Every structure is written in structure tokens, then in C-alpha cells.
Chain A
Amino acid sequence: MELWTNSWQDPVAGLKATSACMCLGDLKSDGEYNLVIADLKKKLRVYRGTSIAWESLLLDVPSAVAIYYSEIDAPPNLAVASGSFIFIYKNSRPFFKFTLPNLELPPDEVSIWEALKESRMDPTEAIARLSSLRESMSLLSNRSLDLLSYDSDEERLEFIEATKLTPLVQNTSITTLGVLKLDQELENAVSVLVIGTEHKFLYVLDKTGSAIITKVVLPDVPAFISTAGLFSGEYRILVACRDSNIYTVKNGQLMPSIIELETHSVGLINIDRSIFVGSVDQKVHCYHIKGRKLYTLYMPEQVSCIEMLKLTRARVFKGLLVALANGEIRLYKDKVLLHSLSIGETILGMAFGSYGREEGSLVLNVKSGGIVVKLIDKKANLEGRNEFIGPPPEQEIPLVIPAKSKLYLEQVDREKESARQMYGGFLRDLTSLRLRTAKAYLQLQYQEPTNQSIESQLSMGAYVQGLGPLFTIILEVQNQGRQSSTDIVVSFSYDPKLFQILTPLTYFPCLVPTLKYRQEIAVRSIEGASENIRVFLQNKVSCLPIISAFITIPGCDLV
């Protein structure tokens, strides 16, 4: 039975949003749930049913959206985080803007820049003081950090000149948003916003969204936030940071227990008292909320995002949705894989909740920019265990055994009949091979080099040009010795029936060391046969040639 049915889809929506930038909520409190998507191309869009309800442009790239109730029995607020601002919309209209406070810079730093501005301080001294400030782990402004990164005095001066007139402020940007219920566990109970920032702060805003009521300093930059409990009672904020650790903030206090992952985290949610965290190494780990590891789910592909599936029926069902890089969406209940659905395309963002008037909708934003909405089958049995998983389908693929030819089989028969002769032949050949190798080796040891004479150290290169019947032999002679040689005569030995040498006499009166001498000798092929001509270099001292070479004249068609 198919668990998911298609609700609607818009393959050309042209949106790119991560899970943090997608949420579902009843924006008008009329029972019709909307889909909010904040696109990475600075566009905020709200879908209602199958059409776009409204659209708005944003000033900066949005990092997260959230829907929360600030009062009972009133439409919820839509919060969009981008840069260091949170824009709050109500009833599809901008309501107000919350700006994160600027960083409180150390007074020393401020006074240093003050002095620099009025040229009261020497840059070298300023740098020394700033660097000692940094060593004492004070949070400095980007400007000071940049200044410290320049090595030469000129660059530093230039940087100071360029920046000293602008006022020294350091704002921070929002990396992630979370929603924490204030005093009731209901779906539309009053909640507060939890904000994680680039400068490692965690803020909790009050319910109107205008003031910070709790501030926590984290050890690293938060990437994902998940909340549990009630702000007025006991609550935990789980923060997955960029250093691949998960920290817990309990009632405003950072807890000493840390969950350390082996790799970076991709997503974080909590279901009741379990924390689920996806990691880059194709795993989803499950921890108890107090930090004890429970189990790990191993995925065949990289995890794209994770999400909670919650259905309210006779009993509340809560499961885990895992989207993989290959477009597969898996549904887990505890450790059991209940269902797997393939979209066939990488999923950028995923949200699960009510959409329209239907509970149990899964909204996906796929990589090509499309939006897909799937609806869960209401009658699906999610409580039972998955049916027995049989052997993998690969088991049915027969092995490809390399085929053997008839010839091979005949050879086998031949070997069976005459193995002894073959072995005898092999031994004989092996012995003769060894003998020939030894002979060749011996020969090498006593052989004279042929085309390089030792005494006068001449070298000769000879090659043939032409297509026939006329050819040109090109001789290149070089004296590689230290003294020049004189009176070198070139002579030939060939079959006069086959060739005729047209150049009457070739003679090198003097060969100076290292220079290359070139002579061209014209040859006519009489019969058109391919045969060797032997070339000698001789001097008058010895009757033996200094050097000799074979030149093969190629065959040709006589016209």
C-alpha cells in the first residue's frame, strides 16, 4: 500500500529554500493552513491552497522563518530572520522589525579606535594593545581583527586611514531560529522566539518579540536549534554548533554535558525525550535528551535534512523523516524503517505539518526549484513493524560467467591427451631460451660499438629522403673528440646492378669538433628494389674504416 499520495505540485515554482526557511501555519486563524517559503533569492512567498496568497521582497538573504503565537486566539506572527533583523508579519502585513543589539565591544578597544581616529595613538602601539586584548579572549570587532591580520605597516596604516572615520559598531547576524512554548503544550499556545547568532550568542525574546529576556554565550556558532519544555517551567534548548558538538541550555544555563559528533551536523530535531541529529557521514544519531547515546541509523546516502512527522489520531504518532541526497525520503519509528519514498531529485528543504485543511502534509522543495506536496494516507498502519525485509534484490541477478569457446574445449582435450609432450616441449624450449639468453649476453660483452668510432670519436647519422627512383642520402657527421680530424673520405659499398650513385665524390677536408657537417648524396634506384647501401668514413691513417652505417633504400615503382 502506498503511504504517500500526491496532493499537488508546482515544478516551476523557482524557489530555493532550506528546511529552516520553510514552515506551515494557520496564518489567518481560519483553519486553512498556509505554506511559508523564504527563498534564498530574497523572496518571501506564502502559498494558500494551490495558489500564491502573497509575496514580498526581502532586503537580505533570509536565514530562517518561524511561525509562533504571541497571544491566544489571535493570528500567529510570522518571523523572518535575515541579517541582524527579524521581520515580524501579522495578517500578511509587516508588523514590526526587531534589530539584534550590536555587540558590546570592550571599552579598551573603543578607546583605542577613538585615539586612532584623532591620531593620538601610534598604530604600532594600537596593534600591540589590540592583540593583547584578543589574547585575553575579548570579543573584538571585525575591524580590529582585520587590522591585526595585516603584516606590513603600510597596509595597516592604509587600513586605519580607510576605516577610522566610520563609527565603530559591530552587528551580528542571525544563523538560526527556534520557537519555544511559553506556558502551555498546545499547538497554538503562546511561544517565544529563540535566536542563534554568528557571534555565538543565544537569545530568547519575550512574547511580543521586542526585548531579550535571556542571553546565553555558546562555545561555538549555532547552526541548528531545537527546543523542548516550557519557558515558564522547565525547558531545554538544544543547539547543534558548527564545531560538530551539541550543547544543551537548560533553563537559561549552559549544561556541562556535551554531545560530540564525529562529523558536522546536517540537522537537529527532538521528538519527546530523544534527540535526532543527522551527520555528514551518512548517519542519523539518536541521543537521550540528557546526552546518552541511544542508537545510530545508517543511511545509504548523504542526509539532506531531517524532520519530525506527527499525526494526531486515536493515539499521537511521532516518527522521523529523513531526506537523503538521492531524493529518497525515509520514515522511521524508533529504529524501524517504516517506509521509503523516492522523489528522484535532491531535496533542499522539507516541512511536515498541516496544509490547507489536511493534517499530515509533507512539503518538499526540490533542487530544480519545484514544490511537491504529498499527503499521508490516513488509514496507513504506522504502528506495526515493517514487513519482513527479504534478501536484497541484487541476489536475483545471475552472475555473468565468462563464456568459453569450443576452441578452448578442444585445446583442453588436446592437453589431456598429450600433456607429457607439451611439458617436454616446454622444458626443451625453456632450456634453449636460457641458452640463447646466455649467448646474447656473452655477445654483448664483446661487441664493438658500430656507429661510433673510439679512436677519432666521429659520429654519423644517415637517412634517406625521396620517393624514388631518385633518392637523397643525407649524411650528418660530427666530430665529438677534442681535436679536429682531416681528410675524411666517404665511400660506399652497394650492388651496382641495383643502384647508381650520382654524386661523384664526397669528401670532408676538415672536421672541427662539435660542428655538424652535412652532405647530400644523390642515388638512383635502377631496379626499384629495396636493398642496403653501406656507407664508410675513412681517413688516410688506417686502412680500417672509422665508422660505417647501413642505409636501407626503400623499394619504389619505376615509371
Chain B
Amino acid sequence: MSKLAKKDGRNWLLYLLYVRNEPEECLRLIEEILKETNDRNDFASYIKGLILRSRGQIPQSLDLFRWSQKLNPFSVEMVKQVGRCLYLQGRTKASIEVYEEALKLCPDDWEIYHFKGLCHTNRNEIEDAMDSFRAANLIQKHDATFMQLGEVYARKEDYKSAIDTYLEALEFSPENPELLTTLGLLYLRLSENLKAFQYLGNALTLDATNQKALLATGSIIQDRSDHDAALLKYRIIAAHNPNSAQLWNNIGMCFFGKSKNVAAIACLKKAQYLDPFEWIIAYNLGIVHLSTQQYASSFHYFNAAISLNPYFATSYMYLAMALSSLGDIENACNAYEKALSMEEDFLIFLNYSLTLCNYGRKERAVQMYMKFQEIFDKLDAASKELDQDVQEKRRLLSKALGVQ
């Protein structure tokens, strides 16, 4: 009686060591067991596969799962793990086939549908993915499935369904900070700041150090010009993730809002150091330098921002302003024209007119002013009142140009 009959006698210990995240000890025991049993213990190979996979050794873990599948051909678990490995290797088609095989063994397992959905998402087969996720949820609801389903809807730009999915998920598990944050960010994307703030706030009461939620909340607070409160939020993130470019970008703009320009530039430069290819940082640096009258630097930053992202009209407008301050009126006019070809915004017209007026090109300045008037008059009273500076500039300009 052999060792053979008792070869799975320590499987319970393997399981315990694995779930308690003690991989070293677990692997030691596995090697011992595998040596004793001539590699014939499906559970030990399975656990070894799981550990190796979590360390990124996917091909080795795939071999182990295939081996345990051979030892125990009717276990759905092994088939699922083989599929998961294939998915992680990016062989999604093969993975889907494996999962379909698994469904024959066990037709009502939510996990199979969930992971099949993930494969479809990766292959951009949105409809199939949604079908799989819905099937998974029909068997039993899980937060992970809801999250994936919502993401698929968001990718399809069907934001309403995405929001509905997340709301349904929240009904099922109302205190998942991850769900709350995702929903908050989605609302933020749809510019529903109030709702976004509410959900992000809820997420933060549950998990006070959730970085995504903190950054989003901070930026909403910052939008309302409460820079000190936003900075307090950013402090928490800085303690956990000091190398986030987005974080330092936002901190920089907070200081800019508080007119601490040197600190603002220091923070923005740190952000740029962390992520040199993020256009918004270069754009913000341009704005801060423009306001400190460092026009030459400002010109360079806007230039950089435009070469990283040529589809943002306002960058061209600011570039034009920097150029006009540098005395390069020809290029400034070109930049204004480029900005206007992308977006007919009243601010661009106003600034263009101002520049032209400063350089004495009154005729064209009046033209631009008229266009500005046209758009500006259509705005409702509230947005007109929003920026006092525009009103002031308008008054001065109309006086200088002699038009009403």
C-alpha cells in the first residue's frame, strides 16, 4: 500500500499554501510530491501551473496544465486554465476553441462564458463578447463580468448602455469602489460632473486611497477653482504613486490657478520628465510660460504640443499669441487661420482680431471682430458672464477699432 494510493494525501496542504500566497513553500512541497509520484499528481501540477503563470512564465504553465489535463481529462478546471493561458499568450482564437470544448463538459459555468467574452473583446468581436458576458451573468452575477460588459459598451460608444450596466452592477454589489470609480469616470467623460462627483465621492468613502477616484475627484474640484482642496487630494496620491505624470500635471495647474507660477512650472516640468510624449503637459507648460511672458519658451512648448497632437485648435490659437508677442506676425496669422479652419470659436476670433489690431491691420481686425460678435451674441447670458476678461477685451477692442 503503497505510496501510490496515498499520493494525493497532501493536496489539502498545497491548496492552503497556494491560497495563502506562500508560493516558495508551495513550490518546494510540489517538487517533493512530483518527485515521489513520478510527476503523476494532477493537482500539484495544476497549482504549480498557477504559480508559474502568476510569475509570467506562461508557456511553462501551459505545459503543466496540459499535463494535468492528460492525467485528469474530465476536469473542467484544467480545460479552463489551458484556455486562460492561451488567452494570456494572445492566442485568442485557440482559446475560444478551448472554452467551447469546456462548455461541452460543463455547460453552466459562468467563468467559461466570462473568459470567452474576454477573448472576443480582445478580437474586437463586440457582439460575441456581449453575448458571452450576458450568458455569464445569466448563470450567476459577478462584478468582473459587469465591468467587462460596461467596458465593451463604452468601447462601442454606447454610453447609455454602459451606464445602465454599471448601475445594475451597483445594485448587485453597491460598495465596490472599482465599479463606483469606473462609473464616475464614465460620467466625467460625458461631462456630467455632478453625477461623476457623487459616484467618485462614494468610491472614496469606501476606499480613501483609490488613486483613480482621487485624481478624477481632484480634477473636478480643480475645475471649480478650489485649488487648495484639490491639492489635498493630490497629496494622497503623491504618497502612493509619486511618479504619475497626470498627477504632477494637475498639481502644476493647481499652482498656476493659485498664481504660483514658478511652482507650477517646476511641477509641470516634472510631469514632462515623467511622460515626455503627453501633449497636454506641453500645452499646459506653454500656457504657464505665456502668462509669465516667457514667450520664446511658450512658443517651443506649443510647438511640441502641436506636433504630439495636431488636432486641438486651441493649441494653434495660443501658438499664434506667442508668435505675435515675438513679433512674427506672418506666422501668427497662419496659426490663427489654421486654428479657425479647425474650429470657429469666438475666443479665436477675438484674439485674432486683437493681434491684428495691435499690428495695425485694422481692416482685417474689424472683419474678425464682426465674426466674434456674431457668435458671441448667440451665447446665453450665463456663459457670457462667465469670463470677465472676454467682456473687458471686447470693450477695449471695440473702442480701438471704432465699431459697435
- Asked whether A and B interact, the reply is yes
A residues apposed to B, CB below 8 Å:
18, 40, 60-61, 63, 83-84, 134-135, 137, 141-143, 145-146, 149, 163, 166-167, 169-171, 173-176, 198, 221, 223, 242-243, 258, 260, 262, 264-266, 280, 293, 295-296, 298, 302, 304-305, 325, 335, 389, 391-392, 394-404, 409, 412, 415-416, 419-420, 422-423, 426
Contact partners of A142 in chain B: CB under 8 A: 4-5, 7-8
Assess A402 versus B1: contact at CB under 8 Å? Given A18-B16, A137-B74, A242-B15.
no
Assess A262 versus B238: contact at CB under 8 Å? Given A198-B9, A416-B293.
no
Give me 8 A-to-B residue pairs in the complex whose CB atoms sit less than 8 angstroms apart, sorted by A's number: A18-B20, A142-B7, A166-B1, A223-B16, A266-B20, A335-B175, A391-B208, A415-B296
Q: Is the CB of B10 within 8 A of A61?
A: yes
Contact partners of A146 in chain B: CB under 8 A: 4, 38, 40
Query: Is B100 on the interface with A (CB-CB < 8 A)?
Result: no
Assess A389 versus B12: contact at CB under 8 Å? Given A173-B6, A264-B19, A423-B299.
no
Residue in A closest to B265 when the chains form the complex, CB atoms: A404
Query: Is B269 on the interface with A (CB-CB < 8 A)?
Result: yes
Q: Is the CB of B21 within 8 A of A295?
A: no
Residue in B closest to A171 when the chains form the complex, CB atoms: B5
Contact partners of B231 in chain A: CB under 8 A: 399
Instruction: State in angstroms the CA–CA spacing of A397 and B263 once bound together.
Output: 17
Q: Which 3 A-B pairs have the closest CB atoms?
A: A394-B239, A175-B12, A173-B9
Contact partners of B262 in chain A: CB under 8 A: 404, 409
Query: Is B236 on the interface with A (CB-CB < 8 A)?
Result: yes
Contact partners of B8 in chain A: CB under 8 A: 142, 173, 198
Binary per-residue interface labels of chain B (1-29) against chain A in the complex, 1 for a CB within 8 Å, 0 otherwise: 11011111111110110111100000000
Q: Is the CB of B327 within 8 A of A420?
A: yes
Instruction: State in angstroms the CA–CA spacing of A260 and B270 once bound together.
Output: 46
Assess A423 versus B21: contact at CB under 8 Å? Given A134-B74, A412-B292.
no
Instruction: State in angstroms the CA–CA spacing of A426 and B141 once bound together.
Output: 62
Residue among B73, B172, B294 making CB contact with A416, cutoff 8 Å? B294
Residue in B closest to A83 when the chains form the complex, CB atoms: B9
Residue in A closest to B209 when the chains form the complex, CB atoms: A392
Smallest Cβ distance from A159 to chain B, in angstroms? 9
Instruction: State in angstroms the CA–CA spacing of A265 and B19 once bound together.
Output: 7
Q: Which of B287-316 contact A (CB under 8 A)?
A: 292-297, 299
Residue among A198, A260, A391 making CB contact with B11, cutoff 8 Å? A198
Q: Is the CB of A60 within 8 A of B9?
A: yes
Assess A420 versus B18: contact at CB under 8 Å? Given A137-B74, A394-B209.
no
Residue among A83, A149, A174, A404 making CB contact with B6, cutoff 8 Å? A83
Contact partners of B258 in chain A: CB under 8 A: none
Contact partners of B347 in chain A: CB under 8 A: none
Contact partners of A258 in chain B: CB under 8 A: 140
Contact partners of B138 in chain A: CB under 8 A: none
Assess A298 versus B266: contact at CB under 8 Å? Given A83-B6, A397-B235, A399-B251.
no
Contacts beyond the supplied A146-B38, A325-B20: 9 A-B pairs with Cβ under 8 Å = A260-B110, A298-B206, A325-B21, A391-B236, A395-B236, A397-B235, A402-B267, A402-B269, A409-B262
Contact partners of B177 in chain A: CB under 8 A: 298
Contact partners of A223 in chain B: CB under 8 A: 12, 15-16, 19
Interface size of B by CB at 8 A reads 75
Instruction: State in angstroms the CA–CA spacing of A389 and B208 once bound together.
Output: 10
Instruction: State in angstroms the CA–CA spacing of A401 and B248 once bound together.
Output: 10
Query: Is B193 on the interface with A (CB-CB < 8 A)?
Result: no
Q: Which of B305-360 contact A (CB under 8 A)?
A: 325-328
Q: Is the CB of A173 within 8 A of B12?
A: yes
Smallest Cβ distance from A198 to chain B, in angstroms? 5
Binary per-residue interface labels of chain B (156-193) against chain A in the complex, 1 for a CB within 8 Å, 0 otherwise: 00000000000000001111110000000000000000
Instruction: State in angstroms the CA–CA spacing of A163 and B38 once bound together.
Output: 14
Query: Is B144 on the interface with A (CB-CB < 8 A)?
Result: yes
Q: Is the CB of A170 within 8 A of B293?
A: no
Contact partners of B226 in chain A: CB under 8 A: none
Instruction: State in angstroms the CA–CA spacing of A458 and B234 once bound together.
Output: 68
Contact partners of B71 in chain A: CB under 8 A: 145, 149
Query: Is B232 on the interface with A (CB-CB < 8 A)?
Result: yes
Residue in B closest to A302 when the chains form the complex, CB atoms: B21
Instruction: State in angstroms the CA–CA spacing of A18 and B12 once bound together.
Output: 12
Contact partners of B294 in chain A: CB under 8 A: 412, 415-416, 419
Query: Is B240 on the interface with A (CB-CB < 8 A)?
Result: yes
Contact partners of B263 in chain A: CB under 8 A: 401
Q: Is the CB of B296 within 8 A of A426?
A: yes
Q: Is the CB of B207 within 8 A of A298?
A: yes
Contact partners of A137 in chain B: CB under 8 A: 74
Instruction: State in angstroms the CA–CA spacing of A395 and B240 once bound together.
Output: 11
Instruction: State in angstroms the CA–CA spacing of A223 and B20 once bound together.
Output: 13
Residue in B closest to A279 when the chains form the complex, CB atoms: B19
Query: Is B77 on the interface with A (CB-CB < 8 A)?
Result: yes
Assess A260 versus B142: contact at CB under 8 Å? Given A392-B236, A394-B209, A402-B267.
yes
Instruction: State in angstroms the CA–CA spacing of A287 and B248 once bound together.
Output: 42
Contact partners of A163 in chain B: CB under 8 A: 2, 4
Assess A397 versus B238: contact at CB under 8 Å? Given A143-B5, A175-B12, A403-B266.
yes
Contact partners of A325 in chain B: CB under 8 A: 20-21
Contact partners of B73 in chain A: CB under 8 A: 134
Assess A395 versus B175: contact at CB under 8 Å? Given A134-B74, A260-B142, A419-B326.
no
Query: Is B131 on the interface with A (CB-CB < 8 A)?
Result: no
Query: Is B128 on the interface with A (CB-CB < 8 A)?
Result: no
Q: Is the CB of B74 within 8 A of A63?
A: no
Contact partners of A173 in chain B: CB under 8 A: 6, 8-12
Q: Is the CB of B175 within 8 A of A63?
A: no
